[in-house]
């Protein structure tokens, strides 16, 4: 097995298990009360600086990794990533939310809800894959957005990533899940009755998309594969195979499992809390409930461990940028893993799981996840159509206008659906506007960047469709989910104003000073000669 390797510039390695103020708050703004007051007095100017500041590929891949002091071990292949994807995705959603949404919103059409959310998830997978191949770092979408949309957009994403990581793991810990029951799928179909599929749409089309927005949570976790890029032997080959392969198979499995449940029991009789266990009992397979309970213990442990593994990599890279204390960015020299970040995710998730219920966690997580997955295709379009100091200003303005048209028309379509799902007049305006914005990108703007290895096909159509579907599913969620999301976002902004803004500002300007000193040293060396 390969050694972790050193990435720090320090001549002498420091003890990993250190615990001091400098390890948590090394930035100049937090040295004492005077420097902190001075930093707060410059909040507006610093915010303007961070709002337009953007990173670059080299900084994310090389410079920020030095904050971890040690490299992670490259030991994973596409086969490992495929099963890692299974472990990250298949969990509470399919085993618990299927029953809740089939009973409350979709009926037998729950299978169509999984198809709709699966299509939306696959569109996001395409975007993640291109970024993960081009920028193979542990930060995933946080790093990608920091490069393309800037530091503040990355912070908003970072907050939602931490929310997704902690709440997602808490939701898995809160619900009973089981991998073992998937082995009983064939037995379920043996007891299936097609008569249970009638009526197929008891709640209408609106119920399908209401359920799709919630069961989207069941697809959450695939982005963890992208966070393992630093530990993958051949990211350009293994990540596309792992991401696209695992999600394709998982989508088929989810649809078959949802169909099996709908055919075993009338949707009105499906149990909301333990749908598969009760369904087994209803067809005379009482023994199966014990297998479900036994499998739940193993399944819950697996999902928690795999989830914490990927989510800790998010935390590591966010800490590298000093948006949270850099102590959480440290990688252990022997194990080559971010132990501090893993402990943060595990302990926080356990505390939230103890005091929360699954429906609250799932609704909040769905908004957060869909928000992140909406930002990703936006960032991809920016990456393809805009390169700093190369793209003409007029083309940048066109890009902004077309993106605003795509986003606004998608939001308007979601609003039309939420206010009057049976109406059609609004769609005659919003859908052509979406087509106009997407066609405008395709026809009037040349792409400025070509992917080196693997790229999303049919750009800008697939990324634009991903934006539209994610926003549409967000619009299908209830107001309570958005209220909780708004409260969490407000807390994030307060944190950013009082800590994250000043930490990242100091970090960025310290790096600028170091680059300037190196440039001056090189100039002096060239002037004086050897």
Q: Which of 91-105, 117-131, 151-165, 210-224 has the highest mean pLDDT?
A: 117-131
Task: List pLDDT tens digits, range 447-477.
Answer: 999 888 888 999 999 999 999 999 988 887 7
**Residue of higher predicted confidence among 176 and 277:** 277
Mean residue pLDDT of the chain comes to 82
pLDDT of 39 higher than 90: yes
CA nearest neighbour of 375 among 187, 177, 148, 172: 148
Task: List pLDDT tens digits, range 393-407.
Answer: 999 999 999 999 999
- Residue-level pLDDT at 190: 59
Task: Tell me the C-alpha distance between 330 and 70, whole Å.
Answer: 7
DSSP string, 434-498: HHHHHHHHHHH-------SS---SSTTHHHHHHHHHHHHHHHTS-HHHHHHHHHHHHHHHHHIII
Q: pLDDT confidence of 186, banded at 50, 70, 90? A: very low
CA nearest neighbour of 139 among 52, 85, 48, 67: 67
**Residue of higher predicted confidence among 144 and 170:** 144
- Residue-level pLDDT at 288: 67
Domain boundaries, the chain: 1-12+24-371+479-520, 388-477
Q: Which two tokens stand for residue 100?
A: 């809740």
- Residue-level pLDDT at 529: 56
Task: Tell me the C-alpha distance between 321 and 53, whole Å.
Answer: 13
The fold of 1-12+24-371+479-520 is: Amino acid/polyamine transporter I (1.20.1740)
pTM of this prediction? 0.83
pLDDT of 212 higher than 90: no
Backbone dihedral angles phi then psi of residue 202, each to the nearest 5 degrees = -65, -25
pLDDT of 272 higher than 70: yes
- Residue-level pLDDT at 79: 92
Task: Tell me the C-alpha distance between 466 and 121, whole Å.
Answer: 8
CA nearest neighbour of 167 among 155, 179, 159, 178: 159
- Residue-level pLDDT at 492: 87
pLDDT of 176 higher than 50: no
- Residue-level pLDDT at 260: 85
461 contacts 343 by C-beta, under 8 angstroms: no
pLDDT of 9 higher than 60: no
pLDDT of 183 higher than 60: no
Share of the chain above pLDDT 90, in %: 32
pLDDT of 121 higher than 80: yes
Task: List pLDDT tens digits, range 423-453.
Answer: 778 889 999 999 999 999 999 999 999 888 8
Residue burial 19-31, b: 16+ Cβ < 10 Å; e: rest: eeeeeebbbbbbe
Across residues 128-152, what is the average pLDDT? 90
**Residue of higher predicted confidence among 309 and 243:** 243
Q: Which two tokens stand for residue 60?
A: 């994310």
- Residue-level pLDDT at 509: 82
- Residue-level pLDDT at 399: 96
- Residue-level pLDDT at 491: 87
SS3 232: strand
CA nearest neighbour of 490 among 143, 482, 154, 167: 482
Q: Which of 91-100, 121-130, 161-170 has the highest mean pLDDT?
A: 121-130
Across residues 292-314, what is the average pLDDT? 70
Q: pLDDT confidence of 239, banded at 50, 70, 90? A: very high
Least confident of 94-98, 320-324, 349-353, 502-506: 349-353
- Residue-level pLDDT at 88: 77
CA nearest neighbour of 113 among 127, 94, 128, 85: 94
């Amino acid at each position: 097995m390969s050694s972790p390797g050193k990435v720090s510039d320090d001549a002498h390695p420091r003890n990993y298990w250190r615990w001091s103020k400098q390890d948590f708050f090394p930035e100049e703004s937090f040295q004492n009360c005077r420097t902190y007051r001075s930093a707060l007095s410059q909040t507006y100017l610093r915010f303007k600086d961070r709002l337009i500041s953007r990173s670059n590929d080299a900084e994310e891949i090389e410079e920020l990794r030095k904050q971890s002091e040690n490299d992670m071990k490259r030991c994973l292949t596409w086969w490992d990533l495929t099963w890692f994807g299974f472990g990250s995705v298949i969990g509470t959603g399919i085993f618990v939310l299927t029953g809740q949404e089939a009973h409350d919103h979709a009926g037998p059409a729950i299978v169509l809800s999984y198809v709709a959310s699966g299509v939306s998830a696959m569109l996001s997978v395409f975007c993640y894959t291109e970024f993960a191949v081009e920028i193979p770092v542990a930060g995933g979408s946080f790093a990608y957005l920091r490069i393309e949309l800037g530091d503040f957009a990355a912070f908003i994403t970072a907050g939602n990533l931490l929310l997704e990581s902690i709440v997602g793991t808490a939701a898995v810990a809160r619900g009973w899940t089981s991998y073992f029951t998937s082995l009983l799928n064939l037995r379920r179909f043996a007891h299936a009755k097609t008569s249970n599929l009638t009526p197929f749409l008891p709640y209408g089309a609106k119920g399908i998309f209401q359920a799709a927005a919630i069961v989207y949570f069941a697809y959450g976790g695939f982005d963890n594969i992208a966070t393992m890029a630093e530990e993958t032997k051949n990211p350009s080959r293994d990540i596309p195979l792992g991401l696209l392969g695992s999600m394709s198979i998982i989508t088929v499995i989810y649809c078959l499992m949802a169909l099996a449940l709908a055919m075993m029991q009338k949707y009105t009789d499906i149990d909301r809390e333990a749908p598969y266990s009760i369904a087994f009992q209803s067809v005379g397979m009482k023994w199966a409930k014990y297998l479900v309970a036994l499998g739940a213990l193993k399944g819950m442990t697996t999902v928690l461990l795999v989830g914490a593994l990927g989510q800790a990599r998010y935390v590591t890279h966010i800490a590298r940028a000093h948006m949270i204390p850099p102590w959480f960015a440290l990688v252990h020299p022997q194990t080559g893993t971010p132990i501090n970040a893993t402990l943060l995710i595990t302990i926080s998730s356990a505390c939230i799981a103890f005091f929360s219920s699954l429906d609250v966690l799932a609704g909040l997580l769905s908004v957060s996840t869909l928000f992140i997955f909406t930002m990703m295709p936006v960032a991809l379009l920016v990456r393809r159509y805009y390169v700093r100091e190369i793209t003409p200003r007029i083309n940048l303005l066109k890009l902004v206008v077309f993106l605003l048209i795509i986003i606004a028309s998608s939001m308007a379509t979601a609003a039309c659906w939420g206010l009057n799902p049976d109406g059609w007049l609004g769609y005659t305006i919003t859908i052509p506007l979406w087509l106009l914005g997407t066609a405008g990108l395709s026809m009037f703007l040349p792409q400025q960047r070509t992917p080196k290895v693997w790229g999303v096909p049919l750009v800008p159509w697939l990324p634009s469709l991903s934006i539209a579907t994610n926003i549409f599913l967000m619009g299908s969620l209830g107001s309570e989910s958005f209220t909780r999301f708004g409260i969490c976002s407000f807390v994030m902004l307060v944190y950013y104003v009082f800590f994250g803004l000043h930490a990242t500002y100091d970090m960025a300007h310290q790096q600028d000073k170091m680059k300037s000193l190196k440039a001056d040293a090189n100039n002096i060396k060239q002037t004086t000669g050897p």
